[in-house]
Amino acid sequence: MRAVVHDRYGPPEVLRLVDVEQPVPKDDEVRVRVHATTVSRTDCALRAGEPFASRFVTGLWRPKGRILGSDLAGEIEAVGATVSEFEVGDRVFGINPWKFGAHAELICVRAGAALAPMPAGMEFEDAAAVCDGAILALNALRPAELRKGQRILVYGASGSIGTAAVQLARHLGAAVTAVCNTKNIELVRSLGAEEVIDYTQDDFMGSGQTYDVILDAVGTLRFRDCRGSLKRGGVYLATDGFRNLFLSAWTARIGDRRVRFSIPPRFTKQDVVFLKELVEAGKYRAVIDRRYPMEQVIEATRYVETKQKTGNVVLVLSGDSRT
pLDDT at 252: 87
Distance CA(306)–CA(56), nearest Å, equals 27
* Domains in the chain with CATH codes: 2-130+286-316 (3.90.180.10), 133-261 (3.40.50.720)
- DSSP class per residue in 208-241: ---EEEEEESSS---HHHHGGGEEEEEEEEESS-
Q: Are 197 and 178 in contact (CB under 8 A)?
A: yes
Q: Are 31 and 106 in contact (CB under 8 A)?
A: yes
| Residue ranges of the chain whose pLDDT lies below 70 | 319-323
**Exposed e or buried b per residue across 195-211, where buried means at least 16 C-beta atoms within 10 angstroms of its C-beta:** ebbeeeeeebeeeeeeb
pLDDT at 239: 92
pLDDT at 263: 83
- DSSP class per residue in 105-171: SEEEEETTSSEEEPPTT--HHHHHTTHHHHHHHHHHHGGGT--TT-EEEEETTTBHHHHHHHHHHHH
Q: What is the pLDDT of residues 258-285, one digit of tens each?
A: 999 988 889 999 999 999 999 999 999 9
Distance CA(94)–CA(50), nearest Å, equals 25
In eight-state DSSP terms, residue 53 is G
Q: Please list the residues that pair with 2 across neighbouring strands.
A: 19
**Exposed e or buried b per residue across 259-295, where buried means at least 16 C-beta atoms within 10 angstroms of its C-beta:** bbbbeeeebebebbebbbebbeeeebbbbbbbbbebe
CB atoms within 10 A of CB 223: 22
Distance CA(152)–CA(236), nearest Å, equals 10
3-state class (DSSP) for residue 277: helix
Q: Are 237 and 141 in contact (CB under 8 A)?
A: yes
